[in-house]
Amino acid sequence: MIAYFILVHRFPEQFKRLFRSIYQPGNSYVVHIDKSSGPELAKDLGRFLASYRGVRILPARNALWGGYSLVDAELRGMAALLQMDSSWTHYINLSGQDFPLKSQEYIRSFLTAHPDRQFIRAVCQRSQRPETLNRVSHYFVERFGRIFRTRIARKFLPGAAPFIGTQWKAVTRGFCEFVCADRRVARYKAFYQHSFIADEAFFQTVLMNHADQGEVVNDDLRMIDWVPDGPIKLRPRNFGSADIAALRLSPDLFARKFDGEEDREVLGLLEAHLKTRAATHYLAPAIAA
């Protein structure tokens, strides 16, 4: 079985379509609704989720982009999922603007075929993404809904190397247990609480510095089209109905992201796709590590 953690901050009707598409009895689901989105969103989604079993809404906190609060939310979500059920074997995190490209049967078969692999994008920050080292080179603080870089420079954790990727992942229950409770992880938590965009580096760094957590596949299993957003930043482009052929043919399990108000047809096309043989029958090809 699979455990899902879903971050939501807007588009309630789109979230409901996502949830229906990934819900399967026996799976476990924890939903985090950003506190800054207001009480009406929480009430709406609370009413919607009340009829589903195996679902828990995480106590609301503000989730600030770039801040450690996103890592904290995910760690709390992992811990809640571990307490909810002992039978799930893999954990997947999503946002409310993601959508599956494969059925739950397909996803479960895929994960069963790769039981000890951690699917997460992770590269050495020093050698492959040195331009991002400013995220960890100084002490950062969260104040008044913003992230501030202080003048306090600092060295990285002794005996460890920094890694970076994206916040999306499909990892094993064993890794969730390790990152939530193992004493060796405490120093990473303390360090990354005062970094920038920790959700793209904390889990990678913990995983890559502890080889006993299984084989790492540098792939988050998401179809994402990154486009420029200013001179140094990238953002995921919203997929639309014009992308449906590529979405149907993608080997990835999920795609991000979507805006149902911008394109009202694409989610319906994907819902129909999830019923096809291509989205429901996994053929187990070899995966390169």
Model pLDDT for residues 31-79, shown as the tens digit of each residue: 999 988 999 999 999 999 999 999 999 998 888 889 999 999 999 999 9
Total count of domains within the chain:
1
Give a yes or no: residue 77 inside a domain.
Answer: yes
Q: Residue 244: what pLDDT?
A: 98
Identify the CA nearest to 252 among candidates 227, 211, 286, 221.
Answer: 221
Model pLDDT for residues 88-112, shown as the tens digit of each residue: 999 999 999 999 999 999 999 999 9
Percentage of the chain surpassing pLDDT 70? Answer: 98
Give a yes or no: residue 70 inside a domain.
Answer: yes
Cα 37 off chain centre by: 19
* DSSP secondary structure letters along 164-207: EEEEEEEEEHHHHHHHHH-GGGHHHHHHHTTSSSGGGTHHHHHH
In the chain, the largest separation of any two C-alpha atoms, in whole Å, equals 56
Q: Is the pLDDT of residue 20 over 70?
A: yes
Identify the CA nearest to 125 among candidates 202, 71, 60.
Answer: 202
CA angle, corner 169, sides to 34 and 172, nearest 5?
Answer: 115
On the question of a cis peptide bond just before residue 257, with omega within 30 degrees of 0, the verdict is yes
Structure tokens at 221: 């299993």
Q: Which residues of 229-255 are buried (b: 16+ CB within 10 A; e: fewer)?
A: eeeeeeebebbbeebbeebeeeebbbb
> CATH no. for residue 99?
3.90.550
Quote the CA–CA distance of 233 and 220 in Å, as a whole number.
20
Of residues 105 and 214, more confidently modeled: 105
Cα 223 off chain centre by: 13
- Confidence (pTM): 0.95
Q: Residue 232: what pLDDT?
A: 62
- Ramachandran sector of residue 46 (left: φ over 0; alpha: ψ -120 to 50; beta: rest): alpha
Model pLDDT for residues 165-200, shown as the tens digit of each residue: 999 999 999 999 999 999 999 999 999 999 999 999
* CB contact at 8 A, 3 and 174: no
3-state DSSP: the chain helix, strand, coil percent, rounded to 5? 40, 25, 35
Quote the CA–CA distance of 47 and 187 in Å, as a whole number.
39
Give a yes or no: residue 262 inside a domain.
Answer: yes
Give a yes or no: residue 110 inside a domain.
Answer: yes
Give a yes or no: residue 65 inside a domain.
Answer: yes
Give a yes or no: residue 202 inside a domain.
Answer: no
Cα 215 off chain centre by: 19
Percentage of the chain surpassing pLDDT 90? Answer: 88
Quote the CA–CA distance of 224 and 106 in Å, as a whole number.
20
Task: Name the residue with tokens 């990238």.
Answer: 234
- The domain containing residue 226 runs over which residues? 2-123+167-184+215-276
Task: Name the residue with tokens 């739950």.
Answer: 104
Quote the CA–CA distance of 58 and 92 in Å, as a whole number.
16
Cα 140 off chain centre by: 23
Give a yes or no: residue 153 inside a domain.
Answer: no
Q: Residue 114: what pLDDT?
A: 95
Q: Residue 288: what pLDDT?
A: 54
Q: Is the pLDDT of residue 203 over 80?
A: yes
Give a yes or no: residue 222 inside a domain.
Answer: yes
